[in-house]
Amino acid sequence: MMVQKAVVIENKTVEKLLPIHQAQLLTYLKLTNLELGFLLNWNVTLMKNGIKRMVNNLKQ
């Protein structure tokens, strides 16, 4: 899911987020040339435990 052509959100419902899920989001960020993405796992008791923020080509 893309929000306002600025952020990519990848929704998952898995027992545990795996490195392959992060690689998938990073691929989406590279293909869309966007910098910010969130990996959301909805299969958690507290949502704050199911959020992974990722940045592509961080500029300092």
pLDDT score, position 42? 97
Residue 43 in any domain: the answer is yes
Residue 56 in any domain: the answer is no
Element (H, E) at 31: helix 19-32
Instruction: Return the DSSP state at 47.
Output: G
pLDDT score, position 57? 81
Residue 1 in any domain: the answer is no
pTM (2 decimals)?
0.84
Range of the domain at 22: 16-47
How far is Cα 19 from Cα 49, in angstroms, rounded to an integer? 16
Residue 58 in any domain: the answer is no
- How many domains does one find in the chain? 1
Q: Mean pLDDT, consecutive 10-residue segments, the chain of 60 residues? A: 90 95 94 94 95 85
Residue 26 in any domain: the answer is yes
Residue 20 in any domain: the answer is yes
Residue 40 in any domain: the answer is yes
